[in-house]
């Protein structure tokens, strides 16, 4: 009995249950990607033009991606507090949006207040990412590409998961009224985050070489789980499009989705913790210990001597801005003023921003090209599934290419951005039936870019201030969303709608042709910027970028609370 209790405590406090909890949090943290499903109800019930609706979408992107404050909180507070704040914001923001759209708030709130509601609700995604994703990267530093691919992959699947749950909980047979989906988006992610508040934490106990060697096999188990889930969701989407499902049949489908999410992953956790307990009992006990007294780690490199007291203020500033070698821990200021960050930020703005514009406008694009409303939900689900496939493919493939071929990760990112161009052109020219292909291409490339950008940030600038730097890079997406989505796509759509004289609805290929030709051009420019970053960092990626983590593990064979570099 005592042994079973000890093993249960080890599982609940162990590294793998922490990863399992993070995967579940991420699988409920992608509500912003299904905005296209319920955006038409926001537009119709509140009487918005397309530019006003795109403004709401812009503030949704601002909330989802501007998380510098979440990163700064994470530098000072434990992960559970970051997750708790995010859960409260998610529930409050989306609940107020739901009450506004359903007419329970009288008079109808003005546009700025609706934008505030969705920004607050979407900003919870930044807190979930910071609390769960950053913690996982610090707990598995040598497998960050694989970990980022899996975590972002589950975020990509969340749109299709939400669609299945919505149809089971609220949706009628055709899924006509999408307003209850906003309510689901409000309470479900908050509930999942609260359930794992005590699980997500930085585990400072060093890992044995045996545990490190088993990591990849465990990650592959989670990968196979997610692939099976994605395959099931794809089959379910196709069947639901071809046949009329009853509410009970939607419920069975949702039950299968939940079972696939919960059971196989937990079985993997039990298997890994059992192997850990059998092979390295001391390490298992160290991981499950709720508190570890930090030890002082002596760095082989002595810190540089402080500047003399008589130094000029300008000289001190120059010294503080002088960056360390790539891969070492930059300060926040050193990273923000570096050329590498400028190039990466620019590529994110103009590369990822175009795919984000396509995802946000998929509902109106389908409507303008004459697709039935049920097909719009299909497009969103396809984007979600291929978004997932892009993320896990980029995570695993880039890690393999980096370790075996020393291929710079920014070079892989440039290839992903160029692959986006055909999807934008298909939308621009409105080829009949091509929106299915375009949603696949755009979803895959949008997903593939995410783990590559985040891995580049951690590799080039270190893990010490990763929470803040990761969230800073995320601010590029809402900036691009405002320029490309609101000022370009939204304005051109309304101009064409006014020319047609059909109110706020535009019909035909011309609604989005010019805007997506502009998006295509800036995407190509973003790929060129990324190639410049790959050229600058080619020597860094030619070496072993994980050498310091391997050296730290070797030196701390007997234990040490700070053996994992960059966790403090």
For residue 553, the model assigns a pLDDT of 54
Give the model's confidence band at 115: pLDDT under 50 very low, under 70 low, under 90 confident, else very high: very high
Assess whether pLDDT exceeds 50 at residue 103.
yes
Q: Are 133 and 148 in contact (CB under 8 A)?
A: yes
Q: Is the peptide bond before 203 cis (omega within 30 degrees of 0)?
A: no
Assess whether pLDDT exceeds 90 at residue 203.
no
Q: Report the candidate in 38, 27, 37, 36 with the shortest Cα–Cα distance to residue 357.
A: 36
For residue 478, the model assigns a pLDDT of 74
Give the model's confidence band at 124: pLDDT under 50 very low, under 70 low, under 90 confident, else very high: very high
For residue 338, the model assigns a pLDDT of 92
Give the model's confidence band at 297: pLDDT under 50 very low, under 70 low, under 90 confident, else very high: very low
- DSSP per-residue letters across 418-442: HHHHHHHHHHHHT-TTTHHHHHHHH
Sign of the C-alpha dihedral, residues 138, 139, 143, 148?
A: negative
- What is the spatial distance between Cα 25 and Cα 9, in angstroms, rounded to a whole number? 21
Q: Which domains does the chain have, with CATH numbers?
A: 9-203+214-280+330-543 (1.20.1250.20)
Give this prediction's pTM: 0.78
For residue 107, the model assigns a pLDDT of 85
**Of 80-94, 337-351, 536-550, minimum mean pLDDT range:** 536-550
For residue 492, the model assigns a pLDDT of 92
Residue 307 main-chain phi, psi, to 5 deg? -65, 150
For residue 549, the model assigns a pLDDT of 66
- What is the spatial distance between Cα 144 and Cα 79, in angstroms, rounded to a whole number? 18
For residue 363, the model assigns a pLDDT of 81
Give the model's confidence band at 174: pLDDT under 50 very low, under 70 low, under 90 confident, else very high: very low
For residue 410, the model assigns a pLDDT of 95
Which comes out higher in pLDDT, residue 190 or 288?
190
As a whole number, mean pLDDT of residues 433-452 equals 91
Give the model's confidence band at 504: pLDDT under 50 very low, under 70 low, under 90 confident, else very high: confident
- What is the spatial distance between Cα 23 and Cα 152, in angstroms, rounded to a whole number? 9
């Amino acid at each position: 009995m005592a042994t079973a209790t000890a093993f249960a405590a080890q599982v609940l406090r162990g590294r793998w249950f922490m990863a399992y909890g993070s995967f579940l949090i991420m699988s409920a943290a992608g509500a912003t990607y299904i905005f296209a499903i319920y955006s038409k109800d926001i537009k119709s019930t509140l009487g918005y033009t397309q530019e006003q609706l795109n403004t709401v979408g812009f503030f949704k992107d601002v909330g989802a991606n501007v998380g510098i404050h979440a990163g700064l909180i994470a530098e000072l507070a434990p992960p559970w507090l970051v997750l708790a704040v995010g859960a409260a914001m998610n529930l409050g923001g989306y609940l107020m949006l739901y009450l506004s759209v359903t007419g329970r708030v009288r008079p109808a709130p003005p546009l700025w207040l609706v934008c505030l509601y969705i920004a607050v609700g979407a900003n919870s995604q930044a807190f979930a990412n910071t609390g769960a994703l950053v913690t996982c990267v610090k707990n598995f530093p040598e497998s960050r590409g694989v970990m980022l691919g899996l975590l972002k992959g589950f975020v990509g699947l969340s749109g299709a998961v939400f669609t299945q749950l919505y149809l089971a909980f609220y949706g009628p047979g055709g899924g006509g009224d999408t307003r209850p989906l906003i309510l689901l988006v409000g309470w479900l992610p908050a509930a999942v985050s609260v359930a794992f508040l005590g699980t997500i934490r930085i585990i400072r106990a060093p890992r044995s070489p045996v545990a490190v060697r088993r990591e990849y096999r465990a990650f592959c188990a989670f990968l196979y789980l997610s692939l099976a889930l994605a395959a099931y969701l794809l089959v379910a989407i196709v069947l639901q499009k071809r046949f009329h499902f009853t509410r009970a049949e939607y419920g069975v489908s949702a039950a299968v989705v939940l079972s696939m999410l919960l059971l196989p992953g937990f079985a993997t956790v039990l298997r890994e913790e059992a192997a850990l307990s059998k092979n390295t009992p001391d390490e298992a006990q160290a991981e499950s210990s709720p508190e570890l007294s930090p030890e002082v780690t002596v760095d082989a490199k002595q810190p540089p001597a402080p500047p003399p007291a008589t130094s000029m203020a300008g000289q001190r500033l120059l010294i503080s801005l002088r960056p360390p070698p790539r891969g070492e821990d930059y300060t926040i200021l050193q990273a923000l003023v570096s050329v590498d960050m400028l190039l990466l930020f620019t590529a994110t703005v103009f590369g990822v921003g175009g795919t984000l514009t396509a995802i946000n406008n998929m509902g109106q694009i389908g409507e303008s090209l004459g697709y039935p409303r049920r097909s719009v939900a299909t497009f969103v689900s396809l984007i979600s599934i291929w978004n997932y496939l892009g993320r896990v493919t980029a995570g695993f493939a880039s890690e393999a290419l980096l370790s075996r071929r020393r291929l710079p990760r920014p070079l892989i990112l440039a290839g992903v951005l160029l692959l986006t161009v055909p999807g934008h052109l298909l939308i621009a020219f409105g080829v009949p039936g091509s929106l299915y292909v375009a949603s696949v291409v755009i979803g895959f490339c949008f997903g593939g870019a995410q783990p590559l950008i985040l891995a580049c940030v951690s590799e080039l600038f270190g893990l010490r201030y990763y929470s803040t730097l990761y969230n800073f890079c995320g601010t590029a997406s809402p900036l691009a969303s405002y320029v490309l989505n609101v000022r370009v796509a939204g304005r051109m759509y309304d101009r064409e709608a006014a020319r047609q004289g059909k109110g706020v609805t535009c019909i035909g290929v011309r609604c989005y042709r010019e805007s997506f030709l502009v998006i295509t051009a800036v995407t190509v420019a973003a790929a060129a910027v990324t190639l410049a970053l790959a050229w600058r960092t080619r020597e860094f990626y030619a070496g072993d970028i994980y050498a310091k983590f391997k050296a730290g593990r070797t030196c701390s064979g007997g234990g040490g609370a700070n053996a994992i570099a960059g966790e403090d």
